[in-house]
Amino acid sequence: MKKLGKLQINPERLIKNEELISLKGGSNCWCFHEENGGGGVCITGAASSADECKFMCEAIGCYGSFTPY
């Protein structure tokens, strides 16, 4: 166990990156009323690729911004 001042880190209890990604959930595709994020958010959702995000946003008349997990 590593000790940093009063903080103790137990390496056996650390969460792996894969576990963090599955816990994150949420949205990685944001659809905006105007290009470059202007005009407010139309909708958010999960997409597996930038193309899927773009398609989803264009279907409702918005512009997509995709961030991979």
**pLDDT the model gives residue 23:** 64
User: When comparing pLDDT for 59 and 21, which is higher?
Assistant: 59
* pLDDT band of 62, cuts 50, 70, 90: very high
**pLDDT the model gives residue 26:** 64
Tell how far CA 26 is from the center of its chain: 6
What is the torsion angle, in degrees rounded to the nearest 10, for the CA atoms of residue 55, residue 32, residue 65 and residue 26? -90
The rounded mean pLDDT for the chain is 81
How do residues 20-32 score in pLDDT, each as one tens digit?
656 666 678 999 9
